[in-house]
Amino acid sequence: MKTADAVIIGGGIMGASAAHFLAKNRFGKIVLLEAKHLAAVSTGHSAANVRTYYTNHITLELAKRALHMFEDEHDELGGDCGFQQVGFLLLVDPNSLSVGNRIVELESKHGLDVKDLSPDDIRELAPQLSLTNVVKGVFEPRSGYADPVKTTQSLISRAEEWGLKAYQGSAATGIRKKAGQITGVETSDGAIETPVVINAAGAWAGHIDSWLDVKTSLRWSRESDLFVEMPADFGPLPVVSDPYHRSYFRPHSQNRIMAGLGAPKEIEPLHPDDYDSSLDPKTRQRIEQPLFKRVAALETAKHLGGYASIYTITDDWHPIVGARPEVEGYFAFFGGSGHGFKLAPPIGEALASIICGESPAIDIKAFRPERFIEGEPITSAWGEGNRG
């Protein structure tokens, strides 16, 4: 029987963030268990867009903190996260005009650099784009995208310097409790005695909860991205979100462009232990159609493949984070719902403060697991099923 002060289950961005900030706070002996390898599932397939356009105060404040962390990745996140500050452009159509205006108002109120762009301004910024149905743009010059694998590895590597033990290929197989208190974790390599467990198991979080008879409502959706070769002389391109076509695209390393489907999402149910992780022809077409409408030059660009991965979705499309009232010492940190990558580091920082008995710099009470039964889900000005 080994011992630890905290055990984190899951080595995606959420588990890595929790581990990093607990280690940074010198919480004690911290162990992270990852059944496969770091960033093996949703995190490794994330578009990893880092933007701040949120329509509620809590996510906006966290996204603002996230942006600062990525800008200062070596000090804040432990090393190279591959952050590319190419800017983020929201193409606003007549239907999204009121939300677009709210975003500018809210972001400005939160001290973020956000610009209202006319169609002519957009043409200057990204001349490749066709602007049919676009009435204006909302542009975040400081936003961009990161490398999700590098980010996870940097968080872990720095935490290892502070004493974290991260085990890959080591699965949690059970959780022990006594008198309503966590006492240990069973693993494929033996048991670990601990008073604190963080469930950061992504798509398997509900399964892990079931070991403790804790109930969580989660859905899974199959989500795909594809790549095309960036034509020569294409010019600079920000991350583009196109709500009119429910599409997004952005530059990617090695002269590629990455594209996927935007919100609101049609749920494509899957089981995380048995799903098709390839880019199927129908999904490829669903992503390509809106992409080619906005960027005609890509229609003849070389297709470079793609994949399908998993969104783990909560009832209000926002993560579930915090102490579980059912079992002392048991904490939730999962349910990224398609936008959890950027939010994970600031939420991990806040959760680590809470576990260390301190007040977090950003209050994350809004993410508490009980919010659904208390009738206080998190809302978005975009409406239900949206993560903005």
Ligand X SMILES: Cc1cc2nc3c(=O)[nH]c(=O)nc-3n(C[C@H](O)[C@H](O)[C@H](O)COP(=O)(O)OP(=O)(O)OC[C@H]3O[C@@H](n4cnc5c(N)ncnc54)[C@H](O)[C@@H]3O)c2cc1C
- Binding region for ligand X (CB under 6 A): 9-15, 33-36, 40-43, 45-49, 171-172, 200-204, 223, 225, 260, 309-311, 334, 336, 338-342
**Residue 232: CB minimum distance to ligand X, A:** 27
**Residue 50: CB minimum distance to ligand X, A:** 7
Cβ closest to ligand X, residue 26 vs residue 215: 215
Cβ closest to ligand X, residue 10 vs residue 329: 10
d(CA 10, CA 21): 15
**Residue 185: CB minimum distance to ligand X, A:** 9
**Residue 31: CB minimum distance to ligand X, A:** 11
What 3-state class would DSSP assign to 54? Answer: coil
CB-nearest residue to ligand X: 336
d(CA 81, CA 61): 21
- Across-strand partners of 219? 313
Closest residue by Cα to residue 172 from 148, 198, 146: 198
Output the CA–CA distances (angstroms, integers) from residue 28 to 165, 190, 250, 263, in the order listed: 11, 20, 40, 41
Cβ closest to ligand X, residue 135 vs residue 171: 171
Structure tokens at 31: 């162990």
d(CA 48, CA 383): 23
Residue 74: its H or E element: helix 73-77
Cβ closest to ligand X, residue 118 vs residue 253: 253
Q: Say if CB 137 and CB 89 are below 8 A apart.
A: yes
Cβ closest to ligand X, residue 35 vs residue 99: 35
**Residue 119: CB minimum distance to ligand X, A:** 25
**Residue 300: CB minimum distance to ligand X, A:** 25
Cβ closest to ligand X, residue 196 vs residue 203: 203
Cβ closest to ligand X, residue 121 vs residue 315: 315
**Residue 120: CB minimum distance to ligand X, A:** 28
**Residue 384: CB minimum distance to ligand X, A:** 18
**Residue 225: CB minimum distance to ligand X, A:** 5
Instruction: Characterize the bridge pairing of strands 330-334 and 320-323.
Output: antiparallel
- Cβ partners under 8 Å of residue 55, min gap 6: 99, 102, 103, 106, 380, 381, 382, 388
Cβ closest to ligand X, residue 101 vs residue 173: 173
Name residue 97's amino acid.
L
d(CA 30, CA 4): 6
d(CA 343, CA 330): 21
Q: What is the 3-state secondary structure (H, E, C) of 181-249?
A: EEEEEEECCEEEECCCEEECCHHHHHHHHHCCCCCCCCEEEEEEEEEEECCCCCCCCCEEEECCCCEEE
